[in-house]
Structure 1
Amino acid sequence: MTHFVVGYAKILENDLTAPQYFILQTLAAAEMRNCSELAGAMDVTLPAVTNLTNKLARKGYIERIVSETDRRNVYLRITDKGREVEARMIERYKELTEGLWSDFSEKEIDLLIASFEKMIRNFPIKS
């Protein structure tokens, strides 16, 4: 469902791209991450993540934290402003999808989830 939400990022918040929202969402769920971890999670290059995080930092949605033990290590952390945006995105997503599942039985939802999980397992991975 997380990937479904990310796909709506551009619709929900004009100044946020789906990859930027993915970063916000990841940082909202974790205390801190570095750019390498985010690049791995997103399957993009380190320069791409640096570019995305620079934009988020300029908007005040994330902040950089330099490691006290090794100044070469820089971590990213979501700010209060970023948490507000992330929470607003979730609420807007809920509004957009309200009633979407109301006509589905529990059995139909379980079948849909199982089908998507099977589809994802069979999806060819590009290297």
Structure 2
Amino acid sequence: MSKETIQSLIDRYIDVSFSVTKKEESLMTEQLGSEITQDQHYILRYIYRVGSCTSTKLAEEFEVKKSAITAIINRLWEKGFIKRTRDEMDRRVVYLTLTEQGEIFYQKIEEKINCFVELFMSKFEQSEMEQFIDTYEKLNQVLIEIKDKQ
């Protein structure tokens, strides 16, 4: 590939990545409403899927400092969505799970998010969507490999 072609592709990638990210964040925020932020939604989603975890595990998974996770967890706890349970053997370890209210809220929000995602996914053929997701997963893997090398 020529240097000009590479630069053109880089420019297109940066432009579309920025545009898609901003539009997606804005539309997702509309779906979530004022009750919950996107970060809080992702935390609820993660805990819902794994069942139970620690704030340390969340910080590792989301690649942020533990203090950032603690702030999000505190807000979710104040809303009654998260329950904290101390480990019987090691009282320093605190497990996070969703409360019944948290599960109900998460399922309600997830239904709205699924409808939103289905709205734009339906504009593509199944093969296009599968190819896009495969490519996006490959991009994710490449980024993980680059991060691991640093």
Q: Note whether the superposition's TM-score is higher than 0.5.
A: yes
Equivalent pair of 1:9/1:21 in contact (CA under 8 Å): no
The residue type paired with residue 70 of structure 1 is: D
- In structure 1, the gaps of 5 or more residues are none
Percent identity among equivalent residues? 27
TM-score by length of 2: 0.70
Aligned residues: 123
**Aligned partners of 1:32 and 1:18: how far apart in 2?**
20
In the TM superposition, what is the alpha-carbon distance from 1:60 to its structure 2 partner? 0.1
How far 1:101 sits from its partner (Å)?
Answer: 2.8
1:79-90 residue pairs with structure 2 within 5 A? 79-90=99-110
Q: Deviations over 1:46-66 (max 9, x none)?
A: 111111101110100001101
Please report how far the alpha carbon of residue 81 of structure 1 lies from its aligned counterpart in structure 2 after TM superposition.
0.8
Q: 2: distance between equivalents of 1:62 and 1:41?
A: 18
Shift of the 31–95 alpha-carbon distance from structure 1 to 2, 3 Å rule, reads: closer
Deviation (angstroms), 1:9: 5.0
Residues 8-65 of structure 1: CA deviation (Å, up to 9, x unaligned): 6532231211111111111111221111000001111111111110111010000110
Q: Give the alignment partner of residue 56 of structure 1, picking from 67, 73, 76.
A: 76
1:52, 1:103 → 2: CA distance?
Answer: 34
State the partner residue of 2:9: none
**Could you say what the CA RMSD is over the residues aligned between the two structures, in angstroms?**
2.4
Structure 1 position 102 matched with structure 2 position 131: no
Quick check: 1:32–1:77 contact (8 Å CA) kept in 2?
yes
Alignment of 1:1-127 (within 5 A): 7=25, 10-11=29-30, 12-123=32-143, 125=147
Task: Indicate the SS of the match to 2:121.
Answer: coil
Greater Cα radius of gyration, structure 1 or 2:
2
Once residues 138 and 51 of structure 2 are traced to their aligned partners in structure 1, the CA distance between those partners, rounded to angstroms, is: 31
Runs (4+) off by over 6 Å: none
| Larger helix proportion of the pair | 2
